[in-house]
Amino acid sequence: MLTASQLRAGIAIRVEGVLYKIVEAEYHSGQGKMGGVAHAKLQNVETGTVRERRFRADEVIEEIVPERQNLQFLYRDEDLSYFMHPETFEQIPVESAVLGRAAAFLVDGMTVPIEFVAGRPIGLIFPDIVDVKVAETAPPAHTQGGSNVWKEARLENGLTLQVPPFIAPGELIRVEVARGTYVERAKTTKR
């Protein structure tokens, strides 16, 4: 059991009989007689819908501890991503909506931990920042009155994002997965 101040992103909870995964959580402590309150963004595991909810500081919330399995990513089609259990070779389909934005950064053969509750996949553990190769870039776009110059780049996984003008096709860049934004050039090791 958890209290409102212990809510964190990535935790699975059961509220009013429905299983949710916490997308975002923020706790505000109260002052004087006012108790604290936690604001949380919850994703329904069954439907994938996201809702916001407030929890009182003294409210007790049921935490569900998911089972983690390291699975190998095989391929994806329109709605599903397919993973393989490395020991049993069983193929497990996971809805791309459950994986979120991280689904676009999966590479064939990559092994990732997938979380299951009652035999149902509820998400995957993925790094916050990943290195991705730039496939092509557009000419820099100047904005009126702005001092920053950015240009559009298409990554090898098909995503497009804004990058600085010095980024060229074929370079590795670091991308924040949750927002899909450029962070920096990836460091290359020289021998």
If asked whether residues 60 and 72 sit together in one domain, one would say no
Range of the domain at 168: 129-185
β-pairing, 172-176 vs 129-137, is antiparallel
Q: Can you give the pLDDT at residue 52?
A: 92
Whether 141 has a pLDDT exceeding 70, the answer reads: no
Q: Can you give the pLDDT at residue 188?
A: 72
| CATH code of the domain covering residue 111 | 2.40.50.140
Q: Can you give the pLDDT at residue 147?
A: 64
Is residue 190 one of the residues assigned to a domain? no
Is residue 133 one of the residues assigned to a domain? yes
Q: Is 105 exposed, middle or buried (0-12, 13-18, 19+ CB in 10 A)?
A: buried
Whether 190 has a pLDDT exceeding 80, the answer reads: no
Q: Distance between CA 45 and CA 127 in Å, rounded?
A: 21
First to last CA, the chain: 51
β-pairing, 172-176 vs 149-155, is unpaired
Last-in-domain residue among 64, 92, 110: 64
If asked whether residues 60 and 103 sit together in one domain, one would say no
pTM for the full predicted model: 0.69
Nearest to 123 by CA among 111, 113, 134, 132: 113
Nearest to 13 by CA among 25, 21, 3: 21
If asked whether residues 104 and 142 sit together in one domain, one would say no
Whether 125 has a pLDDT exceeding 70, the answer reads: yes
Each residue of 49-104: pLDDT tens digit?
888 999 887 788 888 888 888 999 998 888 888 999 989 999 988 887 778 788 88
β-pairing, 149-155 vs 2-3, is unpaired
Whether 47 has a pLDDT exceeding 60, the answer reads: yes
Is residue 43 one of the residues assigned to a domain? yes
Three-class SS of the chain:
CEEHHHCCCCCEEEECCEEEEEEEEEEECCCCCCCCEEEEEEEECCCCCEEEEEEECCCEEEEECCEEEEEEEEEECCCEEEEECCCCCCEEEEEHHHHHHHHHHCCCCCEEEEEEECCEEEEECCCCEEEEEEEEECCCEECCCCCCEEEEEEECCCCEEEECCCCCCCCEEEEECCCCEEEEECCCCCC
Confidence of residue 145 (pLDDT cuts 50, 70, 90): low
| CATH code of the domain covering residue 19 | 2.30.30.30
